[in-house]
Structure 1
């Protein structure tokens, strides 16, 4: 799955366009490397998102196309 879509489906970022812009600006890292919006996300990847002074770091546990709001927490684990 594309990184921008994963960020939206997992609700780490609300909209896909904003996820795309964050990737283009270099604020999203996968396994310590800057990632483009089209980068493939796999189980076990470490995603780091920088919002101003805040940094969110999560490990990908599951990759699904459609997820209910209650099941989102099963997609990633905060580090």
Structure 2
């Protein structure tokens, strides 16, 4: 079975074209070698997948006939990803929450209208103050 099809079948990628693109970009390694999407895989091959800043390591146990359910994935692969890599994923989640709270950053349309209204109100007060003098 092709490596891109295998990674799609065991649900590491949502579509086969995304898996193919990852192979072409050098994010997939089989037995330590960079590969093309058409590379055939066999049982006991070690696959390294770079996804979301994490290097997932897995061993091929068998090849499925087609895409399988999430509960059956462990029949076809053995996940040997180091626990440090998975802990790094947790840290990334927490750091994103820490640095940027939801709703901060670039103003929304409503925020922009409120800012514009505030500037218009202050301009009206300044122009009326200068007219009185």
* TM-score class normalised by the smaller sequence: over 0.9
Structure with bigger helix share is 2
1:61 matched residue in structure 2 = 61
Residue correspondences, number: 79
1:8 matched residue in structure 2 = 8
1:22-61 alignment, distance < 5 Å? 22-61=22-61
Q: Post-superposition, which runs of at least 4 consecutive aligned residues in structure 1 deviate over 6 A? A: none
More moved, 26-35 vs 50-59: 50-59
More moved, 53-62 vs 67-76: 67-76
**Structure 2: gaps (5+ residues):** 81-133
Structure with bigger strand share is 1
Q: Deviations over 1:19-48 (max 9, x none)?
A: 000000001000000011000010000000
| TM-score between the two structures when normalised by the length of structure 1 | 0.92
- Please tell me whether Structure 1 or Structure 2 has the larger radius of gyration of its CA atoms: 2
How far apart, CA to CA, are the structure 2 residues paired with 1:68 and 1:17?
17
